[in-house]
Structure 1
Amino acid sequence: MSNNKIKSIIKKIIFPIRFNLRQLIGGNRMKPSFIIVGAQKAGTTSLYKYLVQHPEIESTLLKEVHYFDLNFNKPLSWYQSFFPLKRNNSHITGEASPYYMFHPLAIKRIAAYNPDMKIIVLLRDPVSRAISHYYHEVRLGREELGMKVAFEEENKRLEGELEKFKNNPYYRGNKYQRYSYKSRGIYVDQINEIKACFKEDNIKIIDSKDFFKQTKGTVRDVLSFIGVDPKFEIKTGKRFNVGNYVKDPDEEQVYTELKAYYKEPNATLYNAIGKRFDWD
């Protein structure tokens, strides 16, 4: 058994114990002042790991709390239990749950919780994001279809999902979360929802390509955005959550088709945010 597998098993055993202790202890816990809301497979794990190196930023018990999407049926005290005890008023905390941006209700819920929340968005070229998302689901054993068929079947798989969310706000929507390969890359709708709920000054949109090319500079910008000293030296040499996959035989064809598919939505996004990304 690999070291990573052993560590994963230990984490699964220890985490519930630690979390239950936190709930029992209660206490005056910090509230998040920033959230990385997405996109999935765009570098959110790396960015969060870099940010919590800062001495003024306290980490959550888990990076992805998933309160405003998958666990909104739980009490607010459940959410607060993930955050550290309040010890220093100058310190801040935040979380990163990359499904928030795509979930049809999460952004409004975050705004109701804190309309002054700092919202951080990482956007990755939707073509490479969709392909990476597919491989992620294959690795987790949740996708058995080949890439081409999976992408062709997406609309059928997601049919009626939004209606289910309307009828039941606590609907988990596993298919909507897992098989939304192409849909998640229509970023403009998601960005418009964020802009409708939060002030412009509270939204930070980052191209993940720029993030990985100019990591230190991007991290400094984010530190300044969330209100801590941007001069603290963050170690950015390690990338997190990088997957290794066996290439699907149809990947090149799918890649070409997706390039055409996203051309118009990307242009609409650029108009909405007032800048272009090097995706075309």
Structure 2
Amino acid sequence: NPNPNPDPNPDPKVVELNNQAKHFVTNFGDEFRTHLIFDYVDEAAPAELRFPRMPEVRLEVGDELRQTRRSIDLRREAGTGPSAPHFLIIGAQKAGTTSMYEYLAQHPMVIRGRRRETHFLDWRWREELEGRPGRQLEWWARFYDEEAHHRYPSLRAGDSTPSYLLAPHLAVPRLRAMLEHGRRRMPLIVLLRDPAKRAVSHYRMVTDPSGTPAQKRTRGTAWLESDLSTLVEDDIAALAAAGVDRGVRAAEVDWDRFQSQYLEKMPNNHGSHSLVLRGLYALQLRPWIEAFGRDAFVFVRCEDLTTAEGVQAEVDRCVRHIGLRPHKLDNTKASNTRSYDRTPGPAEARLREYYEPFNQELYELLGWGEDKWW
């Protein structure tokens, strides 16, 4: 507490009582004083936190700061930041998207949305707001903590909906219209996995008898009575009928035909579909890259997330892509994994044969060397 009987003519001074949750400062005078707390940055700190790269906040006379344990924002900048989401994880399903979202959520400048998968660009698109990108952006922001992002514009939040990659005919034009309206960019993150293993994992997830009623509804029931080999052959045949076949490069696919005969027939309320298509990464990525440019993306192989060091390195790449400084992860364990017999069967062998030329096209598209091949 301040001295109850101070000297009537004291020299103005600063007294600080700081015990974590309580902070009180007085200078025993009637004039403003500058209160400075000096600290130092340890030499072991990342280069981004040391001079001359350390972050700065420059104040003008009369500026007020809004400071939390995670952020520092100027009060006058409230509401000036872009609305959430600030980055997208667009796919692929069963390639580590849940884990990446959880890793990024450990960053002090990232806060979670009300949903991890908003499905705003596909299942939850507001048809009545078609042609009004500003209103669509406002609706999308409702999946996030709007008050926090208004008060603290330096905070970030992401949407992790892996079905976006699968549906470029829906997601790409919708996202592009909103970004052009807001004159902003959107960092995009794509996780990719050996497509044969991805398909097996997808099938095991959808046919898993465990789970909540809501999870089972989202997975769908269409595959419960079918074996994996039958589903693989059925989807390969459906793709061929729509003009997607071995020997046909992604750039040569007739998209109008593919869209009308395959994409537009996909269900929009469950995940029991497109078993083989989801692993044709080059085909799905081309419309995205053509629309937003290669620099909008960072690509992560699921196989590079198998060690703590690998996880940290890949998350650091994603964090920098979002525009934040790297942060050491507290937990590098994978999320949303399940146990099943991983012995390769005939269906996986068939998938591996089918995907081989499509994988080669992906390696060319992304500039991947042999060390990244499946």
TM-score tier by shorter-chain length is 0.7 to 0.9
Match of 2:313 in 1: 217
Match of 1:112 in 2: 177
Is structure 2 residue 186 aligned with structure 1 residue 90? no
Amino acid in structure 2 at the alignment position of 1:132: S
Identity within the alignment, % = 29
Match of 1:46 in 2: 99
Aligned partners of 1:240, 1:183: CA distance in 2, in Å?
24
Is structure 2 residue 125 aligned with structure 1 residue 125? no
Match of 2:274 in 1: 180
Structure with greater proportional helix content? 1
**1:99 corresponds to which of 163, 186, 197:** 163
Aligned partners of 1:211, 1:248: CA distance in 2, in Å?
18
Report the more deviating stretch, 218-227 or 86-95: 86-95
**How much does 1:199 deviate?**
2.6
Is structure 2 residue 321 aligned with structure 1 residue 240? no
Amino acid in structure 2 at the alignment position of 1:112: A
Contact 1:46 1:239 in 2 (8 A): yes
Question: Structure 1 runs of 4+ off > 4 angstroms?
Answer: 155-161, 174-177
Contact 1:38 1:122 in 2 (8 A): yes
Amino acid in structure 1 at the alignment position of 2:170: L
Q: Which has the larger radius of gyration?
A: 2
Aligned partners of 2:306, 2:296: CA distance in 1, in Å?
23
**How much does 1:57 deviate?**
1.1
Is structure 2 residue 149 aligned with structure 1 residue 149? no
**1:206 corresponds to which of 282, 297, 300:** 300
Match of 1:189 in 2: 283
Match of 1:229 in 2: 325
Structure 1 vs Structure 2 CA RMSD = 2.7
**How much does 1:255 deviate?**
1.4
Counterpart of 2:282 in 1: which secondary structure?
helix
Aligned partners of 2:176, 2:299: CA distance in 1, in Å?
17
Match of 1:23 in 2: none
Counterpart of 2:164 in 1: which secondary structure?
coil
Instruction: List gaps (5 residues or longer) in structure 2.
Output: 1-78, 130-135, 209-215, 243-257
Contact 2:88 2:186 in 1 (8 A): yes
Contact 1:146 1:248 in 2 (8 A): no
Aligned partners of 1:207, 1:219: CA distance in 2, in Å?
11
Contact 2:103 2:332 in 1 (8 A): no
Taking a change above 3 Å as real, the CA distance of residues 164 and 113 of structure 1, as seen in their structure-2 partners, is: farther
Counterpart of 1:35 in 2: which secondary structure?
strand
Contact 1:44 1:98 in 2 (8 A): yes
Contact 1:186 1:262 in 2 (8 A): yes
Match of 1:14 in 2: none
Aligned partners of 1:165, 1:80: CA distance in 2, in Å?
31
Taking a change above 3 Å as real, the CA distance of residues 157 and 195 of structure 1, as seen in their structure-2 partners, is: closer
Counterpart of 1:114 in 2: which secondary structure?
helix
Is structure 2 residue 353 aligned with structure 1 residue 260? yes
**Equivalenced residues, count:** 247
**2:110 corresponds to which of 27, 52, 57:** 57
Contact 2:84 2:140 in 1 (8 A): no
Contact 1:216 1:236 in 2 (8 A): no
Aligned partners of 1:258, 1:165: CA distance in 2, in Å?
19
**How much does 1:30 deviate?**
3.2
**How much does 1:176 deviate?**
8.8
**How much does 1:271 deviate?**
0.8
Instruction: List gaps (5 residues or longer) in structure 1.
Output: 1-27
**How much does 1:157 deviate?**
6.4
